[in-house]
Structure 1
Amino acid sequence: MESKGIKGGIYLVIDPQMGEVILLNKLQEILEKSEIAAVQLWDNFKSIDNQSSLINSICKLCQATDTPVILNNNWKLLKQTAANGVHFDEIPKNFQEIKKNISSDVLLGLTCNNNLKTVEWAETNNLDYISFCSIFPSSTANSCDLVDFEIIKESRKLTQMPIFLAGGIKPANMHLLKELDFEGVAVISGIMSAENSSISAENYNSELKNIKNENFNNK
């Protein structure tokens, strides 16, 4: 990566259980046709023998478009792969130990819900972005409570770091996010499970741009 940081847009979450050939083919097509803010590899390796090999294959594809690859929780794999960051589902208890064992240019993100103290922790510890889950009911984010939109609004007062929204977000319901100040949306099944993933990614990007343009014009 040229510099530390994460741009706004579609934050694509991929499931390693999809199967390497299908996953890589879908990912390559998406990256060739759509702007992607980051690719996060979901922490779901139970039947994957060579995790590092799969991660590095994903990194090789993403390097062509300067798209950061972010590991979900598995920070120890950073040293074994070309991944650019790690996303924590919750505040790690051993965060200071983790910081000592990773490079200073590693991207760090954190999932937030309805507790502003989590946002304050991310701000205090200089994380690079936060992601709120779950915005809408979702089968792939069923461990998250629905987020109160007022919490997201209050969070923007606490931090200027990029805010992503996750969980149940579809192009058809993205207009409901117009009242919020955020940088992008995290999507897994809405893109990767679609028959044509690159078209689905473009639909998300189009709706996101519409929201940004409308909010800009209303300022």
Structure 2
Amino acid sequence: MINKSLLNGLYVLTDATLTPEETILEQMERVLKCGVKVIQYRDKYASDEAAEKTCRRLQALCDLYEAVFIIDDRLELAHRINADGLHVGQDDVSYEEARALLGNDKIIGISCYGDIARALHYASLGADYVAFGSFFPSPTKPNSIVVPHTVLGEAKKVINVPICAIGGITPDTIPLLRSYDIAMYSVISAVYKNDTIEENIARLLP
């Protein structure tokens, strides 16, 4: 049984450039050793074969560290390897299709950008968390629209599932979002900078 109460704290994503196939397992184990309990495999470019090989190993690693492993977009892969969950965006597979295939026990998170109505809709359908952002310019998603921080405060009033902030979060910007007391903070670049993962995560923690 997946412990959905682990949807809390730093939510660390992989990246095709920053966590290449040769080093991804070593990097993510370092992340998990720092106490991070939620990681996501996000690679839009890896072949199905390469992605499956990596994700099987990452799921086993998360099991070892009692953490949650989520795959971005690749529904069939998440089902095939029995991953803990799936994250879907506006242009990805539908929530309904994902839930039908994965079942109610798996975690499904939804990107909601700055749209509280979208978040309310999917929370009512059973989404396990909703993600808002980008809140700051993001080096990994340079074309993302930046949404106002106040969306988090408004969302907290009406949404009863964990809320995640994403987009350009660094040690300097995360305190601005912490004031809204949300569940998760999604980070990519700030974790891997200068290959000082342990120091970077320490700086991101409260």
Superposition TM-score, scaled by structure 2 size: 0.89
Cα pair distance change 1:2/1:150, threshold 3 Å:
closer
Identity rate, percent: 22
| One-letter amino acid of the counterpart of residue 26, structure 1 | Q
Cα pair distance change 1:2/1:131, threshold 3 Å:
closer
Cα pair distance change 1:55/1:178, threshold 3 Å:
closer
Q: Tell me what 2:115 maps to.
A: 115
Matches of residues 128-139 of structure 1 in structure 2 within 5 Å?
Answer: 128-139=128-139
CA contact under 8 A between 1:13 and 1:186: conserved in structure 2?
A: yes
Q: Tell me what 1:213 maps to.
A: none
1:19 aligns with 2:20: yes
| One-letter amino acid of the counterpart of residue 75, structure 1 | L
Distance 1:51 1:181 in 2: 34
| One-letter amino acid of the counterpart of residue 50, structure 1 | A
Distance 1:100 1:48 in 2: 22
Deviation of 1:48 after TM superposition, in Å, equals 6.2
Q: Tell me what 1:184 maps to.
A: 184
Deviation of 1:91 after TM superposition, in Å, equals 7.3
Tell me, what secondary structure is at the counterpart of 2:195? Answer: coil
Q: Tell me what 1:28 maps to.
A: 29
Cα pair distance change 1:84/1:16, threshold 3 Å:
farther
Deviation of 1:195 after TM superposition, in Å, equals 1.9
Distance 1:95 1:109 in 2: 9
Cα pair distance change 1:115/1:52, threshold 3 Å:
same
Distance 1:2 1:137 in 2: 33
Cα pair distance change 1:124/1:63, threshold 3 Å:
same
1:81-135, Cα deviation, whole Å (9 max, x unpaired): 1410001112767433332221221101011222221111122111111111201
Tell me, what secondary structure is at the counterpart of 2:87? Answer: strand
Q: Tell me what 1:197 maps to.
A: 197
CA contact under 8 A between 1:131 and 1:165: conserved in structure 2?
A: yes
Cα pair distance change 1:25/1:97, threshold 3 Å:
closer
Would you say how many aligned residue pairs link Structure 1 and Structure 2?
205
Cα pair distance change 1:150/1:29, threshold 3 Å:
closer
Where structure 1 has 5 or more consecutive residues not aligned to the other structure, the ranges are 210-219
Deviates more, 1:11-20 or 1:102-111: 11-20
CA contact under 8 A between 1:123 and 1:159: conserved in structure 2?
A: yes
CA contact under 8 A between 1:16 and 1:23: conserved in structure 2?
A: no
Distance 1:191 1:48 in 2: 26
Tell me, what secondary structure is at the counterpart of 2:37? Answer: strand
| One-letter amino acid of the counterpart of residue 11, structure 1 | Y
Superposition TM-score, scaled by structure 1 size: 0.84
Q: Tell me what 1:105 maps to.
A: 105
